[in-house]
Structure 1
Amino acid sequence: MADKDTTVHTGEGTRSIDMDTPSYTGAHAVPARPAGWMYKGFKIGNTEIWYASPKVQLLMVSIVCFLCPGLYNALGGIGGGGQLNAKIQDHASTATYSVFAFVGFFSGSFANKLGIKITLAIGGIGYSLYSASFLCYNHTQNEGFVIFAGAFLGLCAGLLWTAQGAIMMSYPPEKSKGQYISWFWIIFNLGGVIGAIIVLAQNIHNDTGTVNDGTYVAFIVLMLAGAALAMFLCNADKVIRDDGSKVIIMKNPTWKSEFIGLWECISLSPWVVALFPMFFASNIFYTYQQNGVNQAHFNLRTRSLNSLLYWLSQILGAIVFGYALDFTKARRSVRAKGSLAMLFVLTFAIWGGGYAFQKKQDSRSLTSQASYEPEKMDWTSPGFIGPMFLYFFYGFYDACWQTSVYWYMGALSNSGRRVANLAGFYKGIQSAGAAIFWRLDGLGTSYDTLFAVTWAICAASLLIAAPVIVWQIKDTTEIEQDLKFSDETIEDVAPPAVLDEKRAHDPTV
Structure 2
Amino acid sequence: MSITEENETKTPPGTNVDLVTSSASSHDSTREEENNDSDYDPAKWYNKKPFGKLFPFSSGLSQILMVSFVCFLCPGMFNALSGMGGAGLSSATLSNKANIALYSCFATVGFFSGTIVNTFGVRWSLAFGGTGYSIYIGSFLCYKHTGNEGFIIFAGAWLGLTAATLWAATSTCNISYPTEAKKGTYMFIFWAIFNLGGVIGSLIPLAQNMNNSSGDVTDGSYIAFLILTILGAIIALFMLPTKNVRRTDGTKVIYQKNPSIVSELTELVKLLFKEPWILLLFPMFFASNFFYTYEQSDFAIAFTVRTRSLNSLLFWLMQMVGSYVIGILLDLKKLSRRTRGIFGWVSLFILTQVIWGIGMLWVKGRTRNQTVSLIDFKEGRYIGPMFLYMFFGFYDAIWQCYTYWIMGALTNSARKGAIYAGWYKGLQSAGSAIAWSMDLNEKPYKTMYGTTWGLLAGSLVVAFPILYLKVENTTEIEKDLKDIKGVSQELVDELNIQKTITTKERA
Q: Same fold (TM over 0.5)?
A: yes
Q: Counterparts of 2:464 and 2:228 in 1: how far apart (Å)?
A: 40
Q: Alignment partner of 1:250: what SS?
A: strand
Q: Tell me which amino acid in the other structure corresponds to 1:161.
A: W
Superimposed CA distance per residue, residues 255-299 of structure 1 (whole angstroms, 9 cap, x where no aligned partner): 11111111122122110011000000000101001111111x211
Number of matched pairs: 470
Q: Tell me which amino acid in the other structure corresponds to 1:40.
A: K
Query: What is the Cα deviation at residue 244 of structure 1?
Result: 2.4
* Residue in structure 2 matched with residue 192 of structure 1 by the alignment: 198
User: Which of 55, 67, 73 in structure 1 is aligned with 2:79?
Assistant: 73
Tell me, yes or no, if the aligned pair for 2:136 and 2:152 is still in contact at 8 Å: yes
Tell me, yes or no, if the aligned pair for 2:130 and 2:229 is still in contact at 8 Å: yes
* Residue in structure 1 matched with residue 391 of structure 2 by the alignment: 393
Q: Is 1:226–2:232 an aligned residue pair? A: yes
Tell me, yes or no, if the aligned pair for 2:11 and 2:251 is still in contact at 8 Å: no
Q: Tell me which amino acid in the other structure corresponds to 2:380.
A: P
* Residue in structure 1 matched with residue 189 of structure 2 by the alignment: 183
User: Which of 475, 479, 482 in structure 2 is aligned with 1:481?
Assistant: 479
* Residue in structure 2 matched with residue 342 of structure 1 by the alignment: 347
Q: Is 1:265–2:263 an aligned residue pair? A: no
5 Å matches for 1:306-317? 306-317=311-322
User: Which of 437, 446, 458 in structure 1 is aligned with 2:444?
Assistant: 446
Query: What is the Cα deviation at residue 140 of structure 1?
Result: 1.1
Structure 2 vs 1, CA of residues 495 and 77 (structure 1 numbering), >3 Å: closer, same or farther? farther
Q: Is 1:278–2:284 an aligned residue pair? A: yes
Query: What is the Cα deviation at residue 402 of structure 1?
Result: 0.2
Q: Alignment partner of 1:162: what SS?
A: helix
Unaligned runs of 5+ in 2: 1-6, 13-38, 502-507
* Residue in structure 2 matched with residue 86 of structure 1 by the alignment: 92
Structure 2 vs 1, CA of residues 500 and 165 (structure 1 numbering), >3 Å: closer, same or farther? closer
The structure whose Rg is larger is 1
5 Å matches for 1:107-506? 107-295=113-301, 297-361=302-366, 363-367=367-371, 372=372, 375-486=373-484, 489=487, 498-500=496-498
TM-score with structure 1 setting the length: 0.88
Q: Counterparts of 1:241 and 1:308 in 2: how far apart (Å)?
A: 33
Query: What is the Cα deviation at residue 14 of structure 1?
Result: 10
Q: Counterparts of 1:493 and 1:311 in 2: how far apart (Å)?
A: 45
Q: Alignment partner of 2:230: what SS?
A: helix
Unaligned runs of 5+ in 1: 1-9, 16-30, 504-509
Tell me, yes or no, if the aligned pair for 2:10 and 2:249 is still in contact at 8 Å: no
Q: Counterparts of 1:429 and 1:14 in 2: how far apart (Å)?
A: 38
Q: Counterparts of 2:88 and 2:491 in 1: how far apart (Å)?
A: 48
Tell me, yes or no, if the aligned pair for 1:245 and 1:496 is still in contact at 8 Å: no
Q: Counterparts of 2:486 and 2:86 in 1: how far apart (Å)?
A: 48
User: Which of 25, 39, 46 in structure 2 is aligned with 1:38?
Assistant: 46
Tell me, yes or no, if the aligned pair for 1:100 and 1:158 is still in contact at 8 Å: yes
5 Å matches for 1:48-63? 48-63=54-69
Identity rate, percent: 48
Q: Alignment partner of 1:380: what SS?
A: coil
- Considering only aligned residues, what root-mean-square deviation do their CA atoms show, in Å? 2.3
Q: Alignment partner of 1:473: what SS?
A: coil
Tell me, yes or no, if the aligned pair for 1:131 and 1:220 is still in contact at 8 Å: yes
Superimposed CA distance per residue, residues 151-203 of structure 1 (whole angstroms, 9 cap, x where no aligned partner): 00000000000000000110100000000011000000001000111111111
Query: What is the Cα deviation at residue 495 of structure 1?
Result: 12
Structure 2 vs 1, CA of residues 485 and 54 (structure 1 numbering), >3 Å: closer, same or farther? farther
Query: What is the Cα deviation at residue 205 of structure 1?
Result: 0.9
TM superposition outliers: structure 1 runs of 4+ over 6 Å: 12-15, 490-497
Query: What is the Cα deviation at residue 498 of structure 1?
Result: 4.0
Q: Tell me which amino acid in the other structure corresponds to 2:464.
A: A
The range that moved more, 251-260 or 82-91, is 251-260
The range that moved more, 493-502 or 435-444, is 493-502
